[in-house]
Amino acid sequence: MNIIQAAAILQFLLVVRGSDVAGERKRVGCYYLGATTERYGTLYPEDIDASICTHVLYIHGAINNETQEIYLKPPSQNNKTGGEGFIPRLVKLKAVNPDLKLILHVLYRQVDWLSAEPSGRSKIIQNGIKWLNGSGFDGLDIAAAPLSPEDTEKMADLLCEMKNEFDKYGYSLATSLVGADEIAEETLGKIARCSDYIALLTYFPRGETHRIAPMNMIKSNVDWYVERGIPASKILAVVPAFGAIFTLEDPDDTGLGARVHGPGNDDLEMLGGLGIRNKELLRKLNDSSLGWTIRRDNETKEPYAFSNTRLWTSYEDTTSIEYKARYVLENGLGGIDIVAMEFEDDEGIGGEGRFPLTRTVYNTFRGGN
């Protein structure tokens, strides 16, 4: 996964839900890459614990800019993935959880396929229906890089036409946006109305230590949407199952906002070494020779840690994600998505069971509903 691709995934996503049914159970969205890396091997579709997910989002979709066909494209050009072969294997997860929704996540950085012509849009929509019908999936999730105002307007048109058609077949549709405050409110309203979900992407500050999934950012984003008339019940937070990891510039400057010297992970797979899978991080934090100090926000319980070797990391653990899940419950939001299953502690090495973050969200929702 390269920096831009991972950045798009790691972004803090807030999702607005357009067709919520009162009393419906909260969403636990499980992102899945299905990628093979030398260091970590492969998490196969069968390895996902579908009993604790309400949605599995396969991050492989793309749209051909000439034929407008949906096809699978690995999120990283360099890593081997299960591709098409994993589609039927993912569909089999419905035997484990008959209510499971399978979503193809279309991740793009350019929108040269986003036609202004109604005929082009209609081709995308028909191809989308064809793909979903053929695959056994239940919907599309369209995650956008920042778009120009014109492209955002085109996207809104596409979503509205797509939603109209998808509704006939019961398919779900979601999108994500960067910098919602730069989007005209009218366009935003249209996107909210025509999507089952809207994911809002937010970038992190460069060159300084920061939280991976700051609760204050979630709250202010949620507030921003609610102030614009979008019901809280339609909003869903997405939490990364990987940490941010840096080496510090100054060993004595260890707080939030401290200057960063460089990446903290020697494995460049994720964000060029600025990210680390939770499972790997658990091993690192367990290494007493590194002399870790852990600090936790008094209120949100969000942890960060620094070592006596100048490493600095912020991450999500079961305590902090439980706080987020409670916030979602208490404020009537739609749910939480976790990015991604392969970054989770899939073996339970931390002693909290397999997929501890996802499980905590699932149990908190179930207990609180």
Binding positions for ligand NAG, rule: CB under 6 A: 2, 36-38, 65-66, 76, 78-80, 112, 129-130, 133, 268-269, 282-283, 286, 298, 349-350
Minimum Å gap between C-beta 267 and ligand NAG is 8
Minimum Å gap between C-beta 79 and ligand NAG is 4
Query: Could you tell me which of 114, 92, 104 has the C-alpha nearest to residue 44?
Result: 92
Q: Which two tokens stand for residue 44?
A: 């196969």
3-state secondary structure at position 197: strand
In this structure, the number of other CB atoms found within 10 A of the CB of residue 128 comes to 26
Nearer to ligand NAG, 23 or 41 (CB): 41
Nearer to ligand NAG, 40 or 224 (CB): 40
Which residue type, as a one-letter code, is found at position 347?
E
Minimum Å gap between C-beta 188 and ligand NAG is 27
* Residues found in the chain: 369
Query: Could you tell me which of 178, 152, 144, 174 has the C-alpha nearest to residue 162?
Result: 174
Nearer to ligand NAG, 70 or 236 (CB): 70
Nearer to ligand NAG, 196 or 280 (CB): 280
Nearer to ligand NAG, 189 or 348 (CB): 348
Minimum Å gap between C-beta 166 and ligand NAG is 11
Phi-psi region of 142 (alpha: psi -120 to 50; beta: other; left: phi over 0): beta
Query: Could you tell me which of 341, 362, 361 has the C-alpha nearest to residue 59?
Result: 341
Minimum Å gap between C-beta 229 and ligand NAG is 34
CB 224 within 8 A of CB 181: yes
